[in-house]
Amino acid sequence: MSVTRRYHAPVWDEPVVLELGAPGRRGFVPPAPWSDDADDAPLLPESLLRTAPPELPELAEYEARRHYLHLAQETLGMMGISLFGTCTMKHNPSVNEAVVARPEVAAVHPRQDPSTYQGLLGIVHALGEGLKNLSGMDAFSFQPGGGADAAFLHVCVTRAYHASRGELAQRRQIVTTAQAHPCNPATAAAAGFEVVTLPVEEDGYPSLEALKAAIGPQTAALMVNNPDDMGIYNPHVKEWVEAVHEVGGLCFYDHANFNGVMTRVQAAALGFDACMFMLHKTFGVPKGGGGPAVGAYGCSAELARFLPGPVIAEVDGAFVLEEPEQGVGRVREYLGNVHQLVKAYSWLRAMGTDGLREAADLSVLANNYMEQRILRVPGVTRSLPGLGDPRLEMTRFSMAEITAETGVTAVDVQNRMSDFGIDAMWLSHEPWIVPEPFTPEAGEMWSKEDIDTWIDVLAHVLDEARTDPELVRTAPHRQVVAKIDPSGLDDPDRWATTWRAYVRKHGTRAARGGVTA
């Protein structure tokens, strides 16, 4: 019987901040606003000046601090044991947050003359040089706001490349696989290409013969990630690239799962024309609910002329911003999320080449240790169980046997595990090729004790599924919120995304019989 620690998340009956305080209460008194008869004329035109004070919360300082302390204690974010999966969630060093809060980063305006922020441009340029070493690519853009953005940039570059050769009209297909990240087929379709998806075969990936049957003069590009989210590495990937190049297509390497192959796989050495790194995962930068994120896009010299500007170049010892001659246009404003680039540069320099190699080794070691333990838990199987080869930094498992036996789903188990201080694990990208999937990933940062605790909790919850399935189906029970009733999510009379809309639909606390100050 596994042993799990006693756990209960902090729970506060915490109102939204606009329901706290009282009119006139202050923790900070701002300067008086301008008036029409003031000696100093307003700097803004009259049409832009407020006619009434803004609806802001009015609290004393201690009330504001107590409110945000309660919210911090109720956070469901990555403060438990988080083996998130398909995304390498890492500790984000606090020192990096302090660095990017400095005025040399935080106070820089993107429309300043580049000569006034040479240090910051130097850091971004140096990060690009580091990623060139890891990938073998010749140029990088940091404009994309995440992995899907980087994939979309590639299809835009692909379109521009074939247009420049007068072949865009015939090259209308982009080839991917059933286990590629969904952003690859989605962005290809968004850019107007036809998507050809190769099915997974008995070895865990499509065969080279299937690829060759799908490509031809109509092929614009191949977009794949390797290893995939089942932890399987396609050893024939170089032959894939050669086959696509023979018919005139481009090849894009989605490096979302780079963590287990850092310093051991170089995209250019395999023949790829372009690749993408997720700085907000692999490179120790925070990932927060869709942003701020960075999908660093690297490409060959042949494709560099199509990159969106501005790009940073070093000319006579100074850093300047240049516009590529045939750039596809902006995919994001200015240089992108520059503060995140500073964090990635800090992480990369702190790790060094030896540290990256050790991190990759630890990631693979931790995953294979987890796999051996998890597969001893009754009711859990591995994706493609007939394949005996070790997986890399993640393995996709299935709870299909548990669901068939008890009716408890992977989502139910995910919710119940949070009652033990385990952050919600990732299940699988859609569509679910593996029934009732879950895909934990330890990366290099979690200790053996944390991994063992995570697996002990999994085993405990699956035992509960057999003895008390209703307990698991109705979880969580010891978290900030209970299982959410989704019935109102599509009802515009109930949901509200602003305070003004909330008051209009529901009234204030006083109108609802609540306590007021």
Tokens linked to 27: 């923790």
Q: How far apart are the first and last CA of the chain?
A: 51
Q: Is residue 301 part of a domain?
A: yes
Residue ending a domain, choose from 320, 349, 378: 349
Give, for 366, the enclosing helix (H) or strand (E).
helix 338-374
pLDDT for position 249: 98
User: CA dist 452 to 77, 182, 226, 370, 392, Å?
Assistant: 21, 31, 28, 8, 19
β-sheet bridge partners, residue 173: 194, 219
Closest CA to 297 of 361, 349, 253: 253
Question: Could you give the CA distance from residue 11 to residue 14 in angstroms, rounded to a whole number?
Answer: 9
Tokens linked to 457: 């909790």
Q: Is residue 181 part of a domain?
A: yes
pLDDT for position 34: 63
Q: Is residue 63 part of a domain?
A: no
Which residues are within 8 A (CB) of 51 and not within 5 positions of it... i.e. 6 or more apart?
none
pLDDT for position 365: 96
The total domain count for the chain is: 2
pLDDT per 10-residue tile (average), the chain, 517 residues? 79 90 88 63 78 89 94 76 82 89 93 95 97 98 92 97 97 96 94 96 94 98 94 95 98 95 96 95 78 90 96 95 92 89 96 96 95 96 89 94 97 95 89 93 92 96 97 94 84 87 78 39
Sign for the CA dihedral angle at 156, 264, 434, 365 comes to negative
| Cis before 476 (ω within 30) | yes
Tokens linked to 72: 């911090």
User: CA dist 176 to 234, 250, 428, 453, Å?
Assistant: 13, 12, 18, 37
CA–CA–CA angle 147, 136, 152 (5° rounding): 25
Q: Is residue 441 part of a domain?
A: no
Tokens linked to 339: 């503060």
Question: Could you give the CA distance from residue 318 to residue 338 in angstroms, rounded to a whole number?
Answer: 19
Q: Is residue 306 part of a domain?
A: yes
CA 179 from centre of chain: 18
> What's the number of CA atoms in the CB half-sphere (13 Å) around residue 117?
20
Closest CA to 386 of 210, 184, 232, 206: 232
Question: Could you give the CA distance from residue 88 to residue 256 in angstroms, rounded to a whole number?
Answer: 8
Specify the length of the chain in residues.
Answer: 517
Q: Is residue 315 part of a domain?
A: yes
β-sheet bridge partners, residue 174: 195, 221
Are 492 and 344 members of one domain?
Answer: no
Closest CA to 132 of 268, 302, 227, 309: 268
pLDDT for position 43: 74
Pairing verdict, β 318-322 and 274-278: unpaired
pLDDT for position 514: 44
In three-state form (DSSP H/G/I as H, E/B as E, the rest C), the secondary structure along 90-144 is CCCCHHHHHHHCCHHHHCCCCCCCHHHCHHHHHHHHHHHHHHHHHHCCCEEECCC
> Phi and psi of 139, rounded to 5°?
-155, 150
- Quick one: DSSP state of residue 335? T
Q: Is 70 helix (H, G, I), strand (E, B) or coil?
A: helix
Residue ending a domain, choose from 349, 372, 394: 349
Question: Could you give the CA distance from residue 360 to residue 444 in angstroms, rounded to a whole number?
Answer: 7
Please give the single-letter amino acid code of residue 341: L
CATH number for the domain that contains residue 217: 3.40.640.10
Question: Could you give the CA distance from residue 138 to residue 300 in angstroms, rounded to a whole number?
Answer: 5
pTM of the model: 0.88
Q: Which residues of 91-111 are buried (b: 16+ CB within 10 A; e: fewer)?
A: ebeeebeebbeeeebeebeee
Question: Could you give the CA distance from residue 287 to residue 89 in angstroms, rounded to a whole number?
Answer: 8
Which residues are within 8 A (CB) of 144 and not within 5 positions of it... i.e. 6 or more apart?
150, 152, 153, 276, 294, 295, 296, 297, 331, 332, 336
Domain coverage including residue 171: 116-349
pLDDT for position 515: 38
Residue ending a domain, choose from 295, 327, 349: 349
Contact 312, 119 (CB under 8 A): no
